[in-house]
Amino acid sequence: MPSHSLPIIAAVALTFLLAGGVKGMIGLGLPTVAMGLLGLVMPPAEAASLLIVPSFVTNVWQLASGPGFGPLLERLWPMMAGVCLGTWVGAGFLASDASGVATMALGIALVLYAILGLSSARLRVPAGSERWMGPLVGLATGLVTAATGVFVIPAVPYLQALALEREELVQALGLSFTVSTVALAAGLAQHGVFAGALVGMSLLALLPSLAGMLLGQWLRLRVRQDTFRRCFFLGLLALGAHLALRPLF
């Protein structure tokens, strides 16, 4: 960012407090919310750089709390390899875009994610298809990550379609998000974006993120999750539509 003005710092702190709260409530959403809101006030590449440390720490926390990391990694490593490859292939797009295409792509990704979240569709991966679908889904997720800084499409719907147990699913999401965060950080650093002041800002953003997670976990016991999820995805739909249309005007 050209200057770390007080309004920008306040916007970053409030964004990560809210994003951490969403993750504490439903177990995902920190990068999605952070990218969506920060995309209103800064280029997507800078927003993506700020989420690196909060996303990595909170997702490692989520990954470590699951029941069995070894078997899960053995099952999902082809998908994770695809994520790394896709992010590496497209790493220069987010870092070099100055035309508003990345902002539009971010908006479209948020709209698609919101529509999936609001729909009642329940996908299932056919038996025997995981071997070839996993790498393809990982590759697609990596390309979307490289273009938008958001790594939920199509990884989240795919992992939900594997019929994992609840705790296994939470851990699988943590694994996918952790790998995506590391791959995105490497891509941004390779192109000189994740460096200098943005690294320091990303470290500072960890504090409101953790505070938001604790608040979200407290609220999870007091607010109906179905109501919260519906409001979350409706808000995400509106935000995504705004970002997708903004470069056109």
What confidence score (pLDDT) does residue 2 get? 44
CA distance 170 to 161: 13
For 134, how many CA atoms within 13 A lie in the half-sphere containing its CB?
18
Q: Would you say the pTM of this structure is higher than 0.95?
A: no
Q: What local confidence, expressed as pLDDT, does residue 137 receive? A: 95
pLDDT digits (tens, 9 = 90+) for 109-128: 889 888 988 887 777 888 78
More confident residue, 125 or 16: 16
* Rounded Cα gap, residues 53 and 35, in angstroms: 14
Would you kindly state where each structural domain of the chain is located, as residue ranges? 6-243
- The two structure tokens encoding residue 106: 């971010």
The predicted-structure confidence for 146-177, as pLDDT tens digits, reads as follows: 888 888 889 988 998 898 887 888 889 889 99
Give CA–CA dist 122/39, Å, rounded.
30
Average pLDDT of the chain is 86
> How is 178-211 classified by DSSP, letter by letter?
HHHHHHHHHHHHHTT-S-THHHHHHHHHHHHHHH
* Tens-place pLDDT, residues 65-111: 767 788 889 999 999 999 999 999 888 777 776 557 877 888 888 89
pLDDT one-digit tens code per residue, 21-74: 888 887 778 888 898 899 888 888 899 999 999 999 988 887 877 677 888 899
| 33 membership: H or E segment, kind and range | helix 30-38
pLDDT over 60 (residue 1): no
